[in-house]
Amino acid sequence: MRVAIFGGTGFVGSYLVDALVGAGHHLALLVRPGSEDKVRHRERVRIVHGDISDPEAIARTLEHCDAAIYNIGIIREYPSRGITFRSMQYEGAMRVIEAADDGSVGRFLLMSANGVKPDGTPYQESKYLAERFLAQSEMQYTIFRPSVVFGDPRGRMEFCTQLRDDMIKPPIPAPNFFTGLSPSKGGFAMSPVHVLDVAQAFARSLETESTYGKTLVLCGPEALAWPEIIRRIARGCGRRKLIVPVPAGLVSAVAGLLDRFEWFPLTRDQLTMLLEGNAGDSSEVFAELHIQPRYFDQDNLAYLR
113 domain residue, yes or no: yes
Q: What is the pLDDT of residues 156-171, one digit of tens each?
A: 999 999 999 999 999 9
Q: What is the pLDDT of residues 67-89, one digit of tens each?
A: 999 999 999 998 888 889 999 99
10 and 123 belong to one structural domain: yes
pLDDT for 186 beyond 70: no
The predicted structure's pLDDT at residue 37: 92
Query: What is the percent of the chain with per-residue pLDDT over 90, rounded to a whole number?
Result: 83
135 domain residue, yes or no: yes
Q: How confident is the model at residue 119 (pLDDT cuts 50, 70, 90)?
A: very high
254-264: average pLDDT: 83
Q: Which domain holds residue 182?
A: 159-190+222-278+295-304
How many of the other CB atoms lie within 10 Å of CB of 210?
Answer: 10
- The mean of the pLDDT values for the chain is 94
The predicted structure's pLDDT at residue 179: 81
How many of the other CB atoms lie within 10 Å of CB of 269?
Answer: 21
19 and 141 belong to one structural domain: yes
Find all residues with CB under 8 Å of 245, minimum gap 6, and list them.
175, 176, 178, 183
231-241: average pLDDT: 94
138 and 267 belong to one structural domain: no
244-257: average pLDDT: 88
Please give the Cα distance from 284 to 250 (Å, whole number). Answer: 39
212 and 226 belong to one structural domain: no
The predicted structure's pLDDT at residue 256: 85
The predicted structure's pLDDT at residue 182: 65
The predicted structure's pLDDT at residue 185: 59
